[in-house]
Amino acid sequence: MYRLSYKVAGEHRFLVLNRERFTIGRMDENDLVLQDHTVSRNHAELLLRPEGWYIRDLGARNGVSVNGQLVKESVLAEGDTVTLGLFELKFEQELSEKVQLKSGGQVLPIPEGTIIRSVDEIRNQLQAASMVQPAGADPEQVGRLARNGRILAVLSNMSRTLISATDLSEVLEKIMDVTFQHVQAQRGVLLLEDPATGALEPRIVRQAGGPSETIQISQTIARKSFEEGVAILCQDAQLDDRFQAGMSIRMLGIRSALCVPLKLEDKVLGLIYVDTPLKVKAYGDFDLDLLSALSGFAAVAIHQAELRARLQEERVAKTRLERYHSPAVVERILSSADTAGAFNLEVRELEASILFADIVGFSTLSEDMAPREVALMLNAYFSRMADVIFQHDGTLDKFIGDAIMAIFGAPIPTRDHAARAVRCALEMREALKEFNAEGTSGSPPLNFRIGINSGRVVAGDIGSVRRMEYSVLGNTVNLASRLQSMVASPGQIAVGEATYEACRDLFEFQPLSKVKVKGISRPVTAYEVKG
C-alpha cells in the first residue's frame, strides 16, 4: 500500500491510498483538502490502474508537477515528489510494508564471533577514555585518544544538526542522515516502539542509491538488541549460529549488520539497524562504538521532540477547549487526560440541560446598520454572554447567526446542571440590561428570548473526518430550541417540565399554557422563570 506524505504548517501528515480514487483540492468535498490560494478548488485526482498509481490534473490554475516537470497525467514511482501549488507531496510505500521483521524461530546458544556489548558500557568507556591524557608518547594511548576524538567530533556535529530539527519526523531523518554519513551501510531502518502495542514500528527507511526492494531484517537480532539494551555487530551473520534459527539470516541475504538500541537512561525507545548484503566484516569495533554513541544523542533528541509535540498538542487542545468551555472546565478536562495526553470527548449518552438564547427581531434591528457596526455589536454581545455562561461552568456549543446554544452538565457531568442553566439565564438577562445601558449612541437596544430543557442527550465530538466539534444531539436539544423559538415571548425564560421538576424549589416559576410544537408529538408543558 502507498501513501502521500506532506506538511501543513510544519506538521507532517499522511494520506494512505487505500481506495482506487482520491481527489485533492481546496474545497471540503475533496479527499485531501489543502487550504491555500495556490491550490485550485478541485486540483488533481489519484487513480489506481493495473500498471500503478496515476496523478491527473483536473484543470488546476497552477498545474501539477511530478519531480519538477508539469504533467497532465503521470504514473507515479516510489519516491516521486508531486507539487500542487505551494504543497509538496511525497509518493511512498507504507513503511510497514517496506520493512519486515522476519522471525528466526527459536534462538540458539551463543558461540564466539559476533560482538554483543551493552551500550551503557560502550558510552561509559568512551566518556572515561576521552578524559585520559597520555603521560608520555604511548602509541596505544595516543591512538585511543585520536579514535575517541573522531567519535566526539561526529557527536558534536550531530548535536548541531539535531538542534536545527523542528519536529520528530525531521529529527528521525537527520539521525539517519548522520548514520549513513559515518557508517558504510547499504540499508538502514530506524524503528520506534509503539506505546500502545509495544511493537517495533519502522519510522525511517533508507537504502543506498534510493528506494528499492523491501528490507527484511532478522527479528532475532532486533528483539535481542531491544529487550536487552545491547549493541550487536555481526561481521558475518550467515556464519553465526545465534542468528541462524529458521535459516532467516541466510534467506535475507544479510552478511554484515549493526543494531543498536535507542536507550535513554533505563528506557529503550527503539533501534537503529544498518546492514549490507555485499561484504563480510564491513563493520568493525569503531563502527560499533560510534553508532552506540550516536544512538545516545539520538534517543535524547527523539525524547525531546516527542515532548515538544505533546506540549504543542496540549496547547492546541487547550486553545480549542477555551473557545467552548470555562477555565475551570478546561482544567478538569485536561486533568482527566490519559497517559498518552488524550482527553475523553468520545460520543456518549448523559443527562444535561440545553439553553438557547436568540435576539428578538435582529434582522429588523440591523437593517439600517453598516455591516461593520453589526459585527462589532454582535461580537460585544456574544463576549458578554459567553462570560456569563462560563461563570456557571457551561459549555458554549455554538453561535447560530445571532443565537447562542449552551450546554450544562457536559462534557463534565454535574448533578445541578438544570439549576446552573436557569441561574445562567437569569444572569444573562441582567447582563443584557447592562449591555444595553452601556451601548453607544445610535445602537438599538437588544432583547432576547431563552429556552431551556433538561434530559438525556448524545454528547461528544461530532462532525466529519476533517472537522470535529463538541456538541449534543437528541429530542432534549430539539425541545429546548422549540421552547425558545415557539414558546418564550421577548424577555421571557421558558423551561421544559424536566427542568422545572429539577429545580422547582430553587426558583419562582409560572406555568405557561400547553403548546403544540413542531417535531414533538404531544403538547408541551412549559414554565416561565420569574426569578
Measured distance CA(133)–CA(141) in Å, rounded? 8
What band does 230 get if pLDDT is binned at 50, 70 and 90?
very high
List Cβ neighbours of 310 (8 Å cut-off, separation of 6 or more).
Answer: 341
Residue 34 Cα distances to 12, 41, 83, 89, angstroms: 13, 9, 12, 11
Residue 27 has pLDDT above 80, yes or no: yes
> Residue 190 has which C-alpha cell?
530506524
Q: What is the pLDDT of residues 295-351, one digit of tens each?
A: 888 898 899 888 887 777 777 777 767 776 667 667 766 666 554 444 556 778 899
| 8 Å CB contact between 262 and 302 | yes
Query: Picking from 104-113, 282-291, 300-309, 345-354, which range would have the lowest pLDDT averaged per residue?
Result: 104-113
Q: What is the pLDDT of residues 30-46, one digit of tens each?
A: 899 888 889 999 999 99
Measured distance CA(22)–CA(231) in Å, rounded? 44
Is the full-model pTM beyond 0.75? no
Nearest by Cα to 412 from 387, 392, 399, 393: 393
> Residue 271 has which C-alpha cell?
533501534
SS3 state at 385: helix
What pLDDT is recorded for position 341?
A: 45
Measured distance CA(30)–CA(464) in Å, rounded? 12
What band does 372 get if pLDDT is binned at 50, 70 and 90?
confident
